[in-house]
Amino acid sequence: MTGKVRTAEELAKGQKEISIAEFFEKNKHILGYSNPSKAIITCVREAVDNSLDACEEANILPDIFVRVDKVNSKFYRVTVEDNGPGVVEEQIPRVFGKLLYGSRFHTIRQSRGQQGIGISAAVLYAQLTSGKPVRIVSRTSPGKKAVKVELYINTKKNEPEIISKEEIDWHLSRGTRIELELAGNYVRERKQSVYEYLKETSVVNPHAKITFVEPDGTVHEFRRVSEELPPLPREIKPHPHGIELGQLITMLKTTRARDLKSFLKQEFVRVGDKTAAAVIEKAGLKPNLSPQLLGREEAMAILNAFMQTEFLPPPTDCLSPIGAENVIKSLQEEFKPEFVYATTRKPRVYSGHPFLVEAGIAYGGELSENRIQLLRYANKIPLLYQQGGCALTKAVESVRWKNYGLQQSKDELPVGRVVVLVHVASTNIPYTSESKEAVASVPEIIDETRLALQECGRKLKEYLDRKERLVKKKKKENVLRKVLPLLARKLSEIVGEEELDCDLVVARIVGNVYVRRVVGNSTARVEVYNFTQSKRKLKVYEICSGEVRVEKCEGEVKLRTSDRTTLVWELELTPGKKAELIYSFQGRLVNRKPVVSGVEEELLSGGEVFG
């Protein structure tokens, strides 16, 4: 050993407090700023997530503008603008220039942002790499001018430093705009890109319109496909089964309740008079004790009593699902598949936290690549990175997709022209890191995800089986259409009878609905045969350029007149039955064949399917 031994007093002089901003200044990779291309995506994501949350909380359909401009070979400017409620002038410096400042950290409800780190971390990264301040423009109402603020974050104090502030005219009546200049690398042709993030965001936010301008000037518009805002999640209190000892001790010290029973009823969800009394009895305590005077032992006794007591699960109106219908609309709009299905599972609970899983699957159509596209979401945020380490991926891999018509190697993602979407919504998403890139392996979440995917798989299998049956049926029908006319012609020559209607015979053999129109001198007879195995409620549409008069009808007929006359024949046919309609007309028949609704195209012969 060499050198002088240093005393504890000397070592103590080198110890000092560091701020949270200073910590992340040296550990920016923790927040998702690990490389230049990822940094641009993370900045856009944090700003867009804030815009979506703000618009939804203010009951405004989001209209978001995103632009990435190349400043030089190293730096890019990211601009995100929304039509939300804006940020009040006094709050702008702290919202954008102070880490761990926000309104959602202490609330128990679903939201994209939870920690108060996101947008201020983007500001921090931008100033570290470019040395330039962030520029914010905000307007809260049409009657006020917009406020433009430029600021830095003082990393030593974790406080904002305002460089300039002024009132300006702005084209939006209300909203927020943020401009950041940062070191980055813009990439386009890969899954981890700004374009891919915004595309996937539009899929699970069908109520949002997002416009994106790339550095080369290319404009992409992700259209709004729903005019309905998602239900705003309601804030709830902690559930007794999701509490930990340290948290309980803090709650006991800070509560305003005067006695233990009131504390349990006021500070927790699903605790009423009876359950509060049961918990207190199991803990061996008295209901009139002051919570502030209880120590660690009493808190441990209450926690143990929680574990021994059955509580109703927490309410689920703190969650805001996308909805199966909206998932279907979005998948159809974005991928143009031939088949799509989605499901929203009933809410469940893990560690006292309510959550629900939604899944969707799209197959075929314009999906040309024979590989799966897996879209992972947590609280409507796309998860672009760490796919292999995510619980949602593991759940997809755990499903036996071969049972549902897709190719799959053991414990791997399936192969096929398919998109699989998985969304988990919760008051507390168990991310694997602060960068919010993957969901931790919570057994309850994996199990629910697997069940949702299996439901989607069963629907896909039904579709594929039906498609295969129809292909075989079509081949059979084509063969019959070639052979039967030749056979019918020979038979009619031999027996001297009128030639058979081969289309009618083919429809009977293959089990279709058959429609036949016979036109005479200003009269028409329409016949409908049901050769399927189920009862059919049908509508037959006939369009004429002149007046129409019904002579005979089985069922109900309605006439609609404008510049043309549309005859709507409504009928109900059991299997093997036939119905007939006879009408006279002036002018000419417009539609070449009878138009029919209430039957699939592949099960109709002799007519055209409505629409």
Give the domain ranges of the chain: 20-222, 240-307, 324-465, 502-609
Task: Assign 527 a pLDDT band (cuts: 50, 70, 90).
Answer: very high
Q: Mean of the per-residue pLDDT values for the chain?
A: 86
| Residues 6 or more apart whose Cβ sits within 8 Å of residue 103 | none
Residue 582 tokens, joined: 């006879």
CATH of 20-222, one of 3.30.1300.10, 3.90.440.10, 3.30.565.10, 2.40.170.20: 3.30.565.10
What proportion of the chain, given as a percentage, has pLDDT over 90?
Answer: 48
The answer on pLDDT for 103 being more than 50 is no
| Residues 6 or more apart whose Cβ sits within 8 Å of residue 552 | 580, 581, 582
Task: Assign 136 a pLDDT band (cuts: 50, 70, 90).
Answer: very high
Distance CA 433, CA 46 (A): 15
Per-residue pLDDT, 105? 45
The class that CATH gives domain 502-609 is mainly beta
Per-residue pLDDT, 499? 64
Distance CA 201, CA 208 (A): 9
Segment 30-56, tens digit of pLDDT: 555 777 888 898 889 889 988 998 898
Q: Indicate the fold that domain 324-465 takes in CATH.
A: Ribosomal Protein S5; domain 2 (3.30.230)
In angstroms, the first-to-last Cα distance of the chain is: 90
Mean pLDDT is lowest, of 351-355, 402-406, 484-488, 566-570, for: 484-488
- Residue 53 host element (H or E): helix 36-57
**SS3 state at 578:** strand
pTM for the full model? Answer: 0.71
557 touches 580 (CB < 8 A): no
Per-residue pLDDT, 391? 93
Per-residue pLDDT, 246? 87
| Residues 6 or more apart whose Cβ sits within 8 Å of residue 73 | none
CATH code: domain 240-307 is: 1.10.8.50
Using alpha carbons, select from 255, 253, 210, 286 the residue that is nearest to residue 55.
Answer: 210
Segment 197-243, tens digit of pLDDT: 899 999 889 899 999 999 999 999 999 988 988 888 888 888 888 78
The answer on pLDDT for 435 being more than 80 is no
Distance CA 470, CA 490 (A): 30
- Residue 92 host element (H or E): helix 92-97
Q: Compute φ and ψ for 459, nearest 5 degrees.
A: -65, -40
Segment 274-311, tens digit of pLDDT: 999 999 999 999 999 999 999 999 999 999 999 999 88
